Amino acid sequence: MVAKASKVVTFGCLDRCPIGAEGKGEDWPLPGAGAKSFEELRGIRDELSRRIDDLILRFCMAGSAAK
């Protein structure tokens, strides 16, 4: 699965990338959810959502540039 992926997102472990992810890894070091308040969890969720939206936008831009 990883070998066929265009991008591989890891969470603080890019140095231990799955086999086949070399050159297409993107690390998103986000704090873990353990012992976090609801407010902190909302912040993590919002940051993850922002990063996903940015990734989708970059894929769309790359796809339209290739046409």
H/E/C letters for each residue in 6-19?
Answer: CCEEECCCHHHCCC
The domain of 50 spans 32-67
Say if residue 64 is in the same domain as residue 44. Answer: yes
Q: So what's the pLDDT on residue 14?
A: 65
Say if residue 21 is in the same domain as residue 43. Answer: no
Q: So what's the pLDDT on residue 38?
A: 97
pTM: 0.78
Residue 67 pLDDT class (50, 70, 90 cuts): low
Say if residue 39 is in the same domain as residue 58. Answer: yes
- Bridge partner list, 9: 26
Say if residue 25 is in the same domain as residue 38. Answer: no
Q: So what's the pLDDT on residue 56?
A: 95
Cα dihedral sign, 9-11-17-18:
negative
Q: Helix (H, G, I), strand (E, B), or coil: what is residue 25?
A: strand
Say if residue 36 is in the same domain as residue 13. Answer: no
Structure tokens at 49: 């959502």
Summarised one tens digit per residue, pLDDT across range 12-62 is 776 777 777 778 888 898 999 999 999 999 999 999 999 999 999 998 998
How many domains are there within the chain?
A: 2
